[in-house]
Amino acid sequence: MNTFKTFMFLLILTLFFVWVGGLIGGKTGMTFAIIMAAMMNFFAYWFSDKVVLAMYRAKKVTEAEAPELYSIVRTLAQKAGMPMPKVYIIHEEQPNAFATGRSPKHAAVAVTTGIMRLLSPEELAGVIGHELAHIKHRDILISTIAATIAGAISYLAQMAQWALIFGGWRREDDEGGHPIVALLMMIIAPIIALIVQMAISRSREFAADEGGAKIAGNPRFLASALRKLQWAAEKIPMNANPATSHMFIVNPLSGKSLIKLFSTHPPIEERIARLEAMSL
């Protein structure tokens, strides 16, 4: 899926959000949805990276504090023709990593202490290459906005639920939303939003795997890392927010069986198979 198609998905998701607002609350609901979408997209563009890093208590490190990690990031960023991103470390036992930031000039790479202990330098380079590919493709901005709008749709559904409970609906001829339609949208809208978000996230993971393998110089580095990370994610729990799980290189909630049904990540086996095919 190329960038144009991805942005079209985001446009459709935003329009769907506004449409849901109209079905739930009529013209008032649609106006509220437009204002809410604009505010949330603005917030996601300018501040989402800071919020996510703060959420996981990520600590910014210098080259003196983490020389090996810093060297890997700098070398690969130069190879990819990108500005040097900020480097953060998260004190978590589960081996994992993510990138954030609205553009290559305003980007950060965060890794857990667990991943630095588990992976070899070559495997860690594969992971960093994957995250740099996300930054280069501007996937972080895309996925963040998708997650924001999907969350807003769920919020609208909750508002509709409370409106039904407390009888806050006006009649149809008073330009309000129809309660039966609202009830259906309470069920359907969040599911559709989640499916679209999953489609975007999964497609971008494959592209980042391919781009990261090229940046790191050997697809087998990342393939080997993914094997270890998947095993560790199932054994070592992480108190991760489901709304941000799509940002990590492997799903930090993969140990929870219900979450697997709605995973934003494609199957690890398929990712590894594609990477190994690149090295043939």
9, 199 Cβ separation under 8 angstroms: yes
Sign of CA dihedral 64, 114, 49, 12: positive
Q: HSE of 235 in the Cβ direction (CA atoms, 13 Å)?
A: 9
Name the active-site residue from 131, 269, 270, 276: 131
Is 172 assigned a catalytic role? no
How many Cβ atoms from other residues are within 10 Å of residue 105's Cβ?
A: 10
Backbone conformation region of residue 238, classed left if phi is above 0, alpha if psi is from -120 to 50, else beta: beta
118, 232 Cβ separation under 8 angstroms: yes
197, 147 Cβ separation under 8 angstroms: yes
* DSSP assignment string, 193-246: HHHHHHHHHHHHHHHHHHHHHHHHT-HHHHHHHHHHHHHHHHHS-----GGGGG
User: What SS3 class is residue 2?
Assistant: coil
Which positions are catalytic?
131
